[in-house]
Amino acid sequence: MSVLTASPLLDLKGDFPGLTGDWAYLDTAATSQKPQAVIDAIARLYGPDYATVHRGVYERSATMTMRFEDARATVARFISAASPDEVVFVRGATEGINLVAQSWGQRLKAGDRVLISALEHHSNIVPWQILRDRTGIIIDVAPLTADGRIDEDALIAMIRPETRLVAIAHISNVLGGVVDARRIADAAHAAGALVMLDGCQAAPRLALDMAALDCDFYVLSGHKLYGPTGIGVLWARAEILESMPPWQGGGAMIETVTFEATTYAPPPGRFEAGTPHIEGVIGLAAAIDYVESIGIGRIHAHEAALVRQAREALSGINSIQVLGPENSAGILSFTMAGVHPHDIGTILDEAGVAIRAGHHCAQPLMNLLGVPATARASFGLYNSASDVERLVAGLTRVTRIFGVK
């Protein structure tokens, strides 16, 4: 337990009103708790600051528009984008991937190929299946290594002249493995393919630099980054966004409209039809400011230490099999022989420990692992060694109830 004794992050639970009381929250990979700074930013917006954006000529609307676009610049800085105009606000990573599939994907034709991996979230599987059923593209699936990482050698070998896009998770939401994104990007680009990264689990844990990653699309969700639900980001290279048609029509995404024809706004506005999720954007910017005030490197180191501690402690329970690589990033999935993960989750909840139990929106991965579901403990910057101790104590109680060791 001494590995975290000197951690400067151990007192941050007090910043999160949702963590008051006797509760160990270990489900951050599903959604993060919100710091008071984010709650305050949203409350101010809905109170004395509220007005619409991009429409009013009155002072408060103009001020809110400036804040909205300043938030776009905050996101661009956080991911080291070349320009805020490369940042498209969406409802979440799911919508971002669907936007790419439905807009950029219009150029694909029968026989073109999209390469994903065996551990992808449903959000990075189903949109390509919908596109496949409409256009006749082919979806290739890269295998995993024995310890549950994307097999990068195999994936690179699967890139063909017909491959148009490689779309993979930067960090697995189930097994926590981190992919060498730049290596994949270099191989894909050498073959003429583009790369999209699902950064939902990476954004709260890794320093992001779009140029260093050399990807072409990147998506993330605000609610996993200590921000609000209903807001996310699609980043894409400026020249790619410029070449993409709109995928939704309505207000704000146009330049001129007549009954005969419509001309569209340049990116990112072209992809943001309708009144935007103003409070989500402002809350996301506040969350980024909060995370940056702590330091993404410190957060990642803290979570990695908690995962190491948990893996070591669970190794003493014979019935538990921990899945995924040893150096998983903030995420720990496991099974217990003879006990369904839903039962594990229910008994832990009785002890005030919240984990995820299920297929984690990754049913193909569950099939590959040969299990119906897993239990998953996932850590955030507010967790501490005591949360790991409570997890282990709760799992020990599960073994007693079910008579396993």
Active site residues: 361
- Contact (CB, 8 A) for 246 and 263: no
CA 361 → CA 6, 178, 199, 365, 368, distances in Å?
36, 18, 15, 9, 14
Which residues are within 8 A (CB) of 370 and not within 5 positions of it... i.e. 6 or more apart? Answer: none
Strands 320-323 and 163-169: unpaired
Whole-number Å distance between alpha carbons of 297 and 165: 30
Whole-number Å distance between alpha carbons of 137 and 244: 18
Q: How many residues does the chain have?
A: 405
Whole-number Å distance between alpha carbons of 254 and 345: 48
- Contact (CB, 8 A) for 162 and 188: no
Tell the burial category of 341 from Cβ atoms under 10 Å away from its Cβ (0-12, 13-18, 19+): buried
102 three-state secondary structure: helix
Whole-number Å distance between alpha carbons of 176 and 330: 7
237 three-state secondary structure: coil
DSSP bridge pairs for 217? 196, 236
Q: Which of 360, 366, 352, 362 is nearest to 394 (CA)?
A: 352
CB burial string 90-114: b at 16+ within 10 A, e below: bbbbbbbbbbbbbbbbeebeeebbb
Phi/psi for 221 (5° steps) reads: -115, 135
Q: Read off the DSSP letter of residue 246.
A: P
Whole-number Å distance between alpha carbons of 233 and 173: 18
Instruction: Find the DSSP H helices in 234-373.
Output: 238-243, 278-294, 296-314, 341-350, 363-369
